Amino acid sequence: MTWRTADIPDLTGRRALVTGATSGLGYETALELLRHGADVLVAARNPQKAAQAAERLTREGGKAPTVLELDLADLASVERAADEVTSTYDGLDLLINNAGVMAPPYRQTVDGFELQLGTNHLGHFALTGRLLPLLLKTPASRVVTVSSFMHKTVRGISEDDLRRPANSYRKWEAYGKSKLANLLFMLELDRRLRAAGADLLSVGAHPGYASTHLQAAGPELAGRALQARLWGAATRLVAQSAAAGAWPTLYAATYADLRPGSFVGPGFFEYRGTPKIVLPTRTAQDPDLAKRLWAWSVEATSVDPALTVPR
């Protein structure tokens, strides 16, 4: 497959919301969407960083984005952000569930969930659920959920993982489970949308190994400045750029003939390069596990996504 960002169609008149767009993959995704004419909402937790990113995006993208305050580790913040979007706009063409945390020391979300599953999965589950009515009434809309090849490192997930205590916490296992949850959710949403006869697409993407701040963020949270610098240096040496890492997300968001439930990753052994369709693990494709995760997520977030298709 040969694909470049130049192949992205004109997106004038289309509105996109990108979570975690102040740096890394989210920033590069928002930048290309702006360059191709989209109206972009930059959703981020830190207002100062969001404002700085918006200024830079305006300079580099030729169009000013809109800043939306959103903390995915706080379900009340998710509700406020979704309410702001639904009360302000009459449609949403693209929701890109990109933000995430990777391998931090043990933390809990505001609502008491293990931080990685709480942020990477539950926050995006609640956001998507609250924005579904707006997405469903927008023709040819898409939800892109960003996962990782790290979903291949775990064999399952349980309800107990959502509130995993500190004494049984393993940071890389928790990260892998959060990325598995992303794919289980993406594919279950796809199944439910197709059963409802909706033309909203649920698709997924992963960046391969891309140079972003995510690798250093965990050591920084643990107060290990030297380890963070070493992680950053090693990543910059061997990984592809954040811009290239965003290609699978952009492909998933804009390629016209993408099939429902597709998962897009880099072409070279899913490590780097041009986007292609890749396969999730068998565990990620397990519909029974996906249904259980959906039920646990509804109970945890008090958000029960309504898939009523406007007629």
* Nearest to 141, CA basis, from 200, 191, 98, 192: 200
175 noted as active-site residue: yes
Of the residues 106, 148, 179, 297, which is catalytic? 179
Of the residues 147, 148, 178, 262, which is catalytic? 147
Q: CA-CA distance, 119 to 113, in Å (whole number)?
A: 9
* CA distances (Å), origin 73, targets 15, 62, 78: 24, 31, 8
Neighbours of 9 (CB within 10 A): 11
137 noted as active-site residue: no
179 noted as active-site residue: yes
3-state SS assignment for residue 95: strand
DSSP 186-211: HHHHHHHHHHHT---EEEEE---SB-
Of the residues 27, 106, 175, 255, which is catalytic? 175
R_g over Cα of the chain: 18
Amino acid at 157: I
So which residues are the catalytic ones? 147, 175, 179
